[in-house]
Structure 1
Amino acid sequence: MVGDLGPVPGRLASNLQSVDVVVTPPAAATACPQTYTVQAYLTPLRQSIGNVAEVSLLGTRTNANWVNTGLALVLPDPGEYLITGDIRTNICATVDDLGATNLWTTVRLLHVQSGAVELGGNRIGAQHQFSSAPGTQFQTCQSGTAPLTGLVRVTAAQATKTVRVQAKLNGGGPNFGLTGGSTIQTSIFDGANSQLTYVKIAD
C-alpha cells in the first residue's frame, strides 16, 4: 500500500511538490473595508509505504546474505531527502537443557541501482539471547523495531534513486548462535507492522 502522508488543511491533496495559496474572503460580504487573508504553504514531495508482505529471514543466519523486503520507494528528483522508517522483525527459538541462543536481526537501506548502502547495516531489531538451567527447556518469541532514519541525497547525475529496505538474521558464537541443542523455529521481517517514508527537504 503506497500513499501520501496527507495534506495539512488548506493544502492540495497530492504528493506533488507545490506552493499552495489559500485566499479567505471577509466573513461578511458587506464588510467595509473588504479584508482578504492570503496564506501560502510549501507542500514538499513526500510518500510513504507500509503493510507489505512478510519475508522469512531463516536462510540468512549462516550465509550472511541480505534479503529484499517490499519496503521500497523512488526518490523522484535530485535533492536531499529525509528518510524515516520503523522496521519490525521477529525471532522464535527453543532453548534446550543447558543450551543458549545468541541471535539478532539487522536492517539497512540500499540504493537499488548501485548496490550502495544508504542507511544502516548495523540497526538491530529483534534480539534472542537466552540460556537454560539444567533440566529446563523453553521456547520464546522476541520482536523488535529498528529505526531507519537519516538523510539520502539524489545527485543531478542520478536524476532519481530507488531505495529498498533489506534485512537479515545473525548468529554469534558456536553454531551461529545456537548451542546445546537449541533450535530456531522462525525469523521474519514483519511487513504488516513496518513502514518507510520520505520527505524532500532541499534541492
Structure 2
Amino acid sequence: MAGTDSSLASSGTPAVDPQACNALTLSPAGLLVPRTVPSGIAPGGAIAASRSVDIDVTDTGGKDCPDTWQVGARLTPVNGEIGGAQIGLPLTGQWVATGAAAVLPEPGVYEVTATGRGQVCVHVAPNVNAWVSLGLQIDGQGLIGFDVVCQAQYALNAGASMQTCHSGQGAITRRVQTAGGIVVRTVGALSGNIASGTLQEATINNPYVFFHKISD
C-alpha cells in the first residue's frame, strides 16, 4: 500500500495523543471511546429563568452500541396572573391603580391582559352621564390601553328622579416588549357629569392582570 500513516506505531497499535483534552484511552483490547448519555429536563421544568424552551432527550437504544436518542422540545413560557381587591373610583377621570399588578420577570415580548368588572350607581335628578373605564398601565410609562365597561346616562323630566346601577365586564390585551423587571397593572377611572344627581358608588371589582411570554 502506498504511503505511510504517522499515527500508527510500527507494531500497528494506534497512537493516542496524551494531551489532557483527548478523552480517548487505549486498552489491551483497543481504543475506548467515552459513552455520552445526554439528559433532558423534567416536564414543566426549567434550567434558568431565561429559559423558555425545554429540551427532552430519551435514550431509545438502551445500552446498544452505538446508542440512539430521541430529542424533542417543549415551550415553557414564563406566565402568571395576579388578582386584586375591589377599589372605589372618584369622579375625577383619573386612573386609579388596583392591586392587580405583576412584574414581567425577564426580557422578551409578552401578551398582557387586564380584566375587571366596573359598576356605577347613581341617583338621577334630573340627568346624569357617568362611565367607568378599565385600563392597562405600565408603571413609569403610563396607560397603554383602555375601554369603557359600563355607563349610566339619563335625562328626566323636571321633578322626576330615580336610582340606578349599571355594571359591565371588560378586558384589555396588549403586547409588551421589555428588557425585564417592569410592572404591568390593571387600573380604573370614573368620568362624566352627575349634575344635580348623586353618585352613590363607582367601583372596579375582581381586577386581574394576566401575562405570558410569547417570544424573546
State TM-score, norm by structure 1.
Answer: 0.70
Name 1:198's counterpart in structure 2: 211
Whether 2:147 is the aligned partner of 1:123: answer yes
Which protein has the larger Cα radius of gyration, Structure 1 or Structure 2? 2
Unaligned runs of at least 5 residues, structure 2:
1-41, 61-68
Cα deviation code 1:145-191 (max 9, x no counterpart): 22210101103xxx3211122211001xxxxx123x3111000111x
Name 2:113's counterpart in structure 1: 84
Alignment of 1:1-203 (within 5 A): 11-12=43-44, 17-20=51-54, 40-50=73-83, 52-57=84-89, 59=90, 61-62=91-92, 64-96=93-125, 99-112=126-139, 114=140, 116-120=141-145, 122-134=146-158, 136-155=160-179, 159-171=180-192, 177-179=193-195, 181-190=196-205, 192=206, 194-203=207-216
Partner of 1:188, secondary structure, is: strand
Question: Does the CA contact (< 8 Å) of 1:108 and 1:117 recur in 2?
Answer: no
Structure 1: how far apart are the matches of 2:110 and 2:135? 16
Structure 2: how far apart are the matches of 1:184 and 1:107? 19
Aligned residues: 166
Structure 2: how far apart are the matches of 1:13 and 1:145? 35
Could you say if the C-alpha distance between residues 165 and 85 of structure 1 is closer, same or farther in structure 2, counting changes exceeding 3 Å?
A: closer
State TM-score, norm by structure 2.
Answer: 0.66
Percent of paired sites with the same residue? 32
RMSD of aligned C-alpha atoms?
Answer: 2.8
Q: What is the deviation of 1:131?
A: 2.2
Larger RCO, structures 1/2 (Cα 8 Å, 6+ apart): 1
Partner of 1:160, secondary structure, is: coil
Partner amino acid for 2:213? Answer: K
Unaligned runs of at least 5 residues, structure 1:
1-9, 27-35, 172-176
Partner of 1:149, secondary structure, is: strand
Name 2:29's counterpart in structure 1: none
Could you say if the C-alpha distance between residues 129 and 38 of structure 1 is closer, same or farther in structure 2, counting changes exceeding 3 Å?
A: same
Question: Does the CA contact (< 8 Å) of 2:132 and 2:191 recur in 1?
Answer: yes
